[in-house]
Structures are given as structure tokens and as C-alpha cells.
Amino acid sequence: MTSPTHSLPPTSRPLFDGLFFLAVFGVLGAVVRIVFFTPYELAQGAAQKIYYIHVAAALSAYLALAVVATTSIVFLWLRDARADRLAESAGEVALLCTTVVLTTGPFWGKPIWGTWWTWDARLTLTLFLWFITASYLVLRGAIDEPMMRARYSSVLGILAALLIPFIHLSVYMFRTLHPDPIVLKPDRPSLPPEMLLTFVISVLAFLFFCFMLVRARYRLALLRELAEEAT
């Protein structure tokens, strides 16, 4: 059986460097701006401020899953262990971000909808995405043979990413309580300038933090494999 191509150069890079801590402070700064320097929305009040974290986490999850799908395709094509290692790292970050989406959503929905959860199309599909992503990681831990593990998980990772367009389009395809996208709509203004600036800062901070988490997790995977090869 063909083995994946390995590339494990010696590395002394720390898991958490200056860029990682910059990303952490960026997220903290975005939260401070959301809480203390962003005005309340007139109809929803303080609950609307969850929006900035909820959407930023969702976009971060989509980015991480896009990395999973892309690197999974690369692995199936080239059988390169680096691609599989990166896919695994991004998959763990995607699960974290999707968990943030599913936990912040009810705190926003309860005061607006009057319920913590409803089997709305977008909510249900997002929950389904969480289960697929969790299954991806469970599958990786259930198969010992590296080539088989990488091949099977690559297929599941690609399928998980294919669900993202359906989640995005669900508010247009079905009757749903979930609001339509409100940012950068071509037919009318989206957010007031202060809120739009907060949204942009929050999204950029979370995306950068997501990238740094994937990078740190990749370095951890590399160090783990180097340790295994040394024993």
C-alpha cells in the first residue's frame, strides 16, 4: 500500500509566538469595542451585540472548513502528509468556531424570538455541520492506519465544506426565523457606520485568530509526529 509523502523537518518554532498573542489581543479588543463602544440597536437592544461575535465565528468556521476541503483534495491528489496534517488542524479549529456559533446563537435568539432554539433551516443545517465536523475528528481518532485514516477523513472533510453554501442559501430557500444578511446589501444601506466598523473589526480579528489557531495546531501536529518518529 502506498504511504503518504512525509516531510518532517526539524523545527524549534514555538506553538504560540508574537503573532498568536497579537491575534488574542485583537479578539479581546474587538470584544471591548462591541461591549463598550458600539451603540445599541434600537429594536433588539443589547442582545444584538452578540451578532458581531456570532457572525465572525461563523465566517471563521467556514474559512477553516474551506481549508479542510482544499487540503483534503490536495492530499487525495498528491498523497502529501503535510496536507493531511493541515486538514486535521483546521478541522479542530472549525469545530471550535462552529461551537461558538451554536452557543452564541441561542443567547441572541432568546430575547428576540422568545425561545433558545427552533428547528429553523439555518440552525438545523448548522447543527448538522457541527455533527459532521465532530464526526470528521472522531473518524481520525478511530483509524490507526495513516493512509486509510487520511483518505477516509479527506472525503468526509470535503463533504462537510459542501454543506456551507446550503447554510448560506437556507434563508432564501426556506421560510425561516433567521434574519437575512444585512451587511453590504446592494439595494439599501446595511449598518450605521459605527456598527459596520465594529462588524469589520470583529470579523478581521476572528479570522486572524482562526488562522493563528490553525498554524499553532499544525505546529503541534508536526512536533507530535517528530516525537513519535524519534521513539
C-alpha cell at 73: 483534495
What percent of the chain has a predicted confidence (pLDDT) above 70?
88
pTM (two decimals): 0.89
Summarize pLDDT for 28-70 with one digit per residue, the tens. Answer: 999 999 999 999 988 888 989 999 999 999 999 999 999 999 9
d(CA 114, CA 13): 49
Could you give the 3-state DSSP secondary structure of residue 41?
strand
pLDDT of residue 182: 63
Lowest-confidence region among 69-83, 158-172, 191-205, 216-230: 216-230
User: Which amino acid is it at 214?
Assistant: V
Average pLDDT over residues 79-98: 96
Q: Identify which has the larger pLDDT, 108 or 103.
A: 103
Contacting residues for 166 by C-beta, under 8 A, at least 6 apart = 125, 173
Summarize pLDDT for 4-14 with one digit per residue, the tens. Answer: 555 445 455 77
Summarize pLDDT for 19-29 with one digit per residue, the tens. Answer: 999 999 999 99
204 has a pLDDT exceeding 90: yes
C-alpha cell at 56: 465572525
* Nearest C-alpha neighbor of 54 from the set 114, 110, 102, 112: 102
> Best-predicted range by mean pLDDT among 91-95, 109-113, 190-194?
91-95
To the nearest whole number, what is the mean pLDDT of the chain? 88
How many Cα atoms within 13 Å fall on the side-chain side of residue 187?
2
Question: Residue 123: is it exposed, middle or buried by C-beta count within 10 angstroms (0-12/13-18/19+)?
Answer: buried
Average pLDDT over residues 170-184: 70
Pair 218, 16: CB distance under 8 Å: no
Average pLDDT over residues 101-119: 89
| Residue whose C-alpha cell reads 475528528 in the numeric block | 137
pLDDT of residue 230: 73
What percent of the chain has a predicted confidence (pLDDT) above 90?
65
pLDDT of residue 130: 97
Pair 5, 80: CB distance under 8 Å: yes
Lowest-confidence region among 103-107, 110-114, 148-152: 110-114
Summarize pLDDT for 140-165 with one digit per residue, the tens. Answer: 999 989 999 999 999 999 999 999 99
Predicted confidence band of residue 99 (pLDDT cuts 50, 70, 90)? very high
Domains in the chain and their CATH numbers?
Answer: 18-230 (1.20.120)
Predicted confidence band of residue 1 (pLDDT cuts 50, 70, 90)? very low
Pair 153, 72: CB distance under 8 Å: yes
| Residue whose C-alpha cell reads 456598527 in the numeric block | 195
* Nearest C-alpha neighbor of 146 from the set 218, 80, 73: 80
Q: In degrees rounded to 5, what are phi and psi of residue 213?
A: -65, -45
Average pLDDT over residues 171-182: 70
